């Protein structure tokens, strides 16, 4: 008991010297300091919310110093204090969607996730036709509008010069929606290729290896020039399944906090795909359509409900 009391008494004696690190989206800080002139580290981390029903039911009433930061239609965002918070900086971010629809509930509801393996056979017979349906529904119009220069041209950060780049090798760079467009450590760009015959990494073949190597090198030198950062502080990955079926590459700063979007089961290193193609058996037409690919799918996704669940239950083969 004496030892525990001592442990508690140590904290107020901590003398701050410097901020050593900040991570988990700023929700963890590591402070370097001393206690009685001896070196000490204090790590402070925001705790999980208490998920007790009675707590949650009174949460909105227990907030104080609610400050509205902005609103757009049914979306509003705020900073607030979880308690009295006199003289303290706000410790909560609040978003309110009101009135919300069933779509919003679906989007935010906890969703079970499944791990599936897409064989070449499943890809050819089920997933490729699904991709075609999505493309035929006009889901790519926004991409083609950008490629053709009709919309969002003010967002285009770079476009391969048409005078010196052959048609098949052109791409353009856009900021990802999640990047604030200024914090270098959070840099996140998208490269959209101009050619329209590559729907996803499944269309990459051995014959594309030289082109892919050139595009990766060109992206690295272009982005490092545009933002004055070393090329080896960038990494490139692609998603499978991607959100839309036009081949695009994610380029992020290596120090960008890795989350679900960079995780195994969602993202693959572009360098490693190139290397996989280079060492693959077969002629120049051999490619990623011949390999098993494993990834995760939300149970609410159409690919799960319409393809992988029926396959699992043998209603489809």
Region 107-166 residues binding a copy of itself, contact defined as CB under 8 A: 108-110, 112-117
Instruction: Choose between 155 and 257: whose C-beta lies nearer to a copy of itself.
Output: 257
Residue 264 binding a copy of itself, by CB under 8 A: yes
Alpha-carbon gap, residue 269 to 290, rounded angstroms: 18
- Considering only residues 226 through 255, tell me which ones interact with a copy of itself, judged by CB under 8 A: 230, 232-235, 237, 254-255
Instruction: Choose between 89 and 138: whose C-beta lies nearer to a copy of itself.
Output: 89
Alpha-carbon gap, residue 292 to 311, rounded angstroms: 15
Q: How far is the CB of 246 from a copy of itself (least distance, A)?
A: 20
Alpha-carbon gap, residue 295 to 1, rounded angstroms: 50
Distances (CA, A) of 293 to 36, 56, 84, 240, 279: 57, 41, 52, 8, 17
Residues in contact with 156: Cβ distance below 8 Å, sequence separation at least 6, in sequence order: 146, 172, 173, 174
Stretch that binds a copy of itself, among 85-93, 137-145, 164-172, 187-195 (CB under 8 A): 85-93
With 0-12 CB in 10 A as exposed, 13-18 as middle and 19+ as buried, what is 200? buried
The catalytic residue among 126, 188, 248, 253 is 248
Instruction: Choose between 43 and 226: whose C-beta lies nearer to a copy of itself.
Output: 43
Q: How far is the CB of 275 from a copy of itself (least distance, A)?
A: 4
With 0-12 CB in 10 A as exposed, 13-18 as middle and 19+ as buried, what is 263? exposed
Is there a catalytic annotation at residue 248?
yes
Instruction: Choose between 197 and 230: whose C-beta lies nearer to a copy of itself.
Output: 230
Residue 177 binding a copy of itself, by CB under 8 A: no
Residues in contact with 116: Cβ distance below 8 Å, sequence separation at least 6, in sequence order: 294, 295, 296, 297, 304, 308
Residue 196 binding a copy of itself, by CB under 8 A: no
- Considering only residues 6 through 35, tell me which ones interact with a copy of itself, judged by CB under 8 A: 7-8, 10-14, 16, 19-33, 35
**Residues identified as active-site:** 248
């Amino acid at each position: 008991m004496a030892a525990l009391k001592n442990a508690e008494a140590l904290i107020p004696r901590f003398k701050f010297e410097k901020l050593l690190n900040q991570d988990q989206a700023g929700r963890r800080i590591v402070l370097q300091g001393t206690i009685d002139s001896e070196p000490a580290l204090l790590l402070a981390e925001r705790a999980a919310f208490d998920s007790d029903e009675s707590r949650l039911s009174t949460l909105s009433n227990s907030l104080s110093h609610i400050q509205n930061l902005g609103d757009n239609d049914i979306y509003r965002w705020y900073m607030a204090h979880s308690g009295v918070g006199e003289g303290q900086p706000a410790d909560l971010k609040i978003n309110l969607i009101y009135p919300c629809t069933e779509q919003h509930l679906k989007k935010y509801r906890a969703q079970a996730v499944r791990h599936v393996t897409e064989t070449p056979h499943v890809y050819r017979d089920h997933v490729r036709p699904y991709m075609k349906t999505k493309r035929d529904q006009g889901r790519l119009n926004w991409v083609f509008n950008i490629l053709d220069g009709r919309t969002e041209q003010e967002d285009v950060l770079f476009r391969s010069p048409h005078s010196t780049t052959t048609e098949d090798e052109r791409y353009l760079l856009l900021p990802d929606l999640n990047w604030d467009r200024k914090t270098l450590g959070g840099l996140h760009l998208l490269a959209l290729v101009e050619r329209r015959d590559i729907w996803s990494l499944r269309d990459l073949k051995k014959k594309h290896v030289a082109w892919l190597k050139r595009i990766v090198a060109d992206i690295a030198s272009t982005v490092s020039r545009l933002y004055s950062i070393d090329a080896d502080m960038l990494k490139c990955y692609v998603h499978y399944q991607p959100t839309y079926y036009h081949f695009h590459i994610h380029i992020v700063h290596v120090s960008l906090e890795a989350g679900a979007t960079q995780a195994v089961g969602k993202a693959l290193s572009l360098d490693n795909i190139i290397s996989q193609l280079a060492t693959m058996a077969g002629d120049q037409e051999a490619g990623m359509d011949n390999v098993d690919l494993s990834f995760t799918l939300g149970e609410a996704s159409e690919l799960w409900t319409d393809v992988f669940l029926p396959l699992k239950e043998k209603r489809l083969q």
